[in-house]
A and B are shown apart, each in its own frame.
Chain A
Amino acid sequence: MVFLDFEQPLESLYEQLEKIQQVGEEGDVDVSEMVRELDNKIRNKRKEIYSNLTGWQKVQLSRHPERPYTLYYISQMCRKFTELHGDRCLRDDKAIVGGLGSLDGQTVMIIGHQKGVNTKMRQYRNFGMANPEGYRKALRLMKMAERFGFPVVTLIDTPGASPGLEAEEHGQAEAIARNLFEMAQLRVPIVCVVIGEGASGGAIGIGLGDRVYMLEYTWYSVISPESCSSILWRSWDFKEQAAEALKLTADHMFEFGLIDGIIREPVGGAHSAPEEMAKLLKRQIKKAISEVQDMTPDERIEARINKYASMGVFDVRPSEVEGKE
């Protein structure tokens, strides 16, 4: 088990538990009472810790090394899944995966960022940072889904689009912009869920949809707290403050009306009960698809565009002279 810094009290409780269990196994002492007591303590402590998480702690949870990623959720949610590779142009990006899946009999196109589960795989997946080819693969799959009337489901989990020489040469900006443009007018339902990190253009590049949700311990922002700290505070040390200032948690995003709902995670986070998390995720995705499936494509597109058009907060100055003086 990996414990985050704010979970330290839990770690020592777990250590105690382990010791007691060892004693129980070795001798004839009955430890069941003590084990039960400790279990209770752990449960309460965990509840206590998880009911007061700061923005930064949620960011840490979203990056938890044991957190489930896209392919895990797909394997849990879909009885059948066939991964489809490549952008038909240059290569197959490993940081975005996609394919045809079946959600209880309903064929869907599932696309998502994929992070690696160990050091080697993290490199292979480029830490979930997609190149233009990844966004173009996603678009190819979405256009295919459109041709055959399959709803599109996207799972977002990226620290950002890949910054690099090749990414720029191949048009990272164009690839993301094109996806936004095409997703806005895609004729099939689109449901997006932030399952981990939702950083900036890299996230929204597969994140424009009829319904957008966030898991409870995820974040969505125009910039990562670290980069924000380095630019605005001119130092890497203010990530906690930046995380608070950016108001990047699911609760904030829902309060601002920028997402359609929050999918609650099991106490202890998605990684502590991944199967349960996958069930909750699947239920919400199915519900969301059924909510928008009965609209005509034109109605759906209009509603989608209007939803995004209404996002923004500004003031209207009564007269020009007043404001500028």
Chain B
Amino acid sequence: MGWFKRLKDGIQTATRNKKEAPEGLWYMCSNCKETSTMKELKENFYKCPHCNYHVRIGSYDYFDLIFDGNYEELYEELVSRDFMNFTDLKPYTERLEEAWKKTGLGDAISVAKGKVNRRPLVIAAMDFKFIGGSMGSVVGEKIARAIDHCLENRIPLMVISKSGGARMMESAFSLMQMAKTSAKLTQLARAGIPYFSFLTDPTTGGVTASFAMLGDINFAEPGCLIGFAGPRVIKETIKRDLPEGFQTAEFLLEHGFLDFIVDRKDLKETVSDLLYFFDSN
């Protein structure tokens, strides 16, 4: 029995007072709170060595995990523009500047072409740390161009989704990216080129309601959040707690919206197998 009783639950420290631990040495799992070294974590495919929690990783990490060594990045010259002069508490231009500086990324998606066990593949992978992986014009355009590239060269496409949804600061333009990416995917389907949609934590909103759900194969990482409306919005709407495991990958598999779930350590082999199946014709 402890001497002290915790009176208030949850985190009490304001975000601005949060102390950042130096990165690069230790990792504390946000799921089981166990610590491991970054080295251990990396060797374990960025999964917690204690509870197998799949830590959120970035587009380049996935490229390294899936491609055979080298890959060529495509369309990195495309960047967002504050076309609408959008200002909420902060101007959009400022948010973009911050995101570029903080992440070193061009936008919330990166496209690369490489080989997986010697078979060519184009991967478009999203980054959550770039404004919540939100979909604006650049995300839509990069996916559209990746599709064009796949059509021209008859290469399969894989999209790794990781997004909070639409980028509000691009308003209707971000909404239209749903139509744009879905419309472009019909060209891929018509040409008989396979499209693999890989959903990771989190995949919600307009991304789920467009290209993420449209794969010839839809598959996901274990435990990841996948949904249309965010859990908080649903909770506020129905005014009661959500059932356990609601909107997880396992929930979606059970309800018939995923083909399978894959552990990150088996990801490359799985993708390689898919490429093999679709390549034999």
**A172, B209: Cβ atoms closer than 8 Å:** yes
Which of A6-14, A80-88, A216-224 is found at the contact surface with chain B? A216-224
Bound-state Cα–Cα, A120 to B180, Å: 38
Given A173-B228, A314-B138; 20 other pairs, CB 8 A cutoff: A164-B237, A168-B228, A177-B178, A177-B214, A180-B178, A180-B209, A181-B189, A184-B186, A200-B166, A205-B209, A242-B88, A245-B86, A258-B173, A305-B186, A308-B179, A312-B141, A312-B173, A317-B78, A317-B106, A319-B77
B223-281 at interface with A (beta carbon < 8 Å): 226-229, 233-234, 237-238, 242-243, 246-247, 255-257
**26 chain-A/chain-B pairs, Cβ below 8 angstroms:** A163-B234, A165-B238, A167-B228, A174-B209, A177-B210, A177-B212, A180-B178, A181-B185, A181-B214, A201-B205, A208-B182, A222-B171, A242-B88, A248-B171, A305-B184, A305-B186, A308-B176, A308-B179, A308-B183, A309-B180, A311-B173, A312-B177, A313-B137, A315-B81, A317-B77, A324-B100
Main secondary structure of the interface of A (DSSP, over half): helix
Q: Which 7 pairs show the lowest CB-CB distances between chains A and B?
A: A312-B137, A163-B229, A180-B182, A184-B183, A173-B208, A232-B88, A173-B228
State the A residues within 8 Å of B (CB).
161, 163-165, 167-174, 176-178, 180-181, 184-185, 200-201, 204-205, 207-208, 220-223, 228, 231-234, 238, 241-242, 245-248, 252-253, 256, 258, 304-305, 308-309, 311-320, 323-324
Interface residues of B in 142-187 (CB under 8 A from A): 144, 166-168, 170-180, 182-187
- Distance between Cα atoms of A313 and B255 in the complex (Å): 37
* B213 partner residues in chain A, CB cutoff 8 A: 171, 173-174, 177-178
A221 and B171 contact, CB distance less than 8 A: yes
Partner among B77, B180, B255 whose Cβ is within 8 Å of the Cβ of A316: B77
Residues of chain B contacted by A316 (CB below 8 angstroms): 77-79
Complex formed: what's the CA distance from A164 to B229 in Å? 8
Nearest Cβ distance between residue A203 and chain B, in whole angstroms? Answer: 8
B229 touches A168 (CB 8 A): yes
Is there contact, CB below 8 Å, between B182 and A184?
A: yes
Q: Which residues of A contact B190 (CB under 8 A)?
A: 185
Query: In the complex where A247-B172, A311-B173, A314-B78 touch, is A233 in contact with B182 (Cβ < 8 A)?
Result: no
A167–B167 Cα distance when bound, in Å, is: 23
**Minimum distance in angstroms from A149 CB to a CB of chain B:** 20
> Contacts of A311 on B, CB cut-off 8 Å?
137, 140, 173, 176-177, 179-180
Please name all residues of chain A whose beta carbon is closer than 8 Å to the beta carbon of B79 when the two chains form the complex. 314-317, 323
**Given A176-B209, A248-B172, A314 contacting B178 (CB threshold 8 A):** no
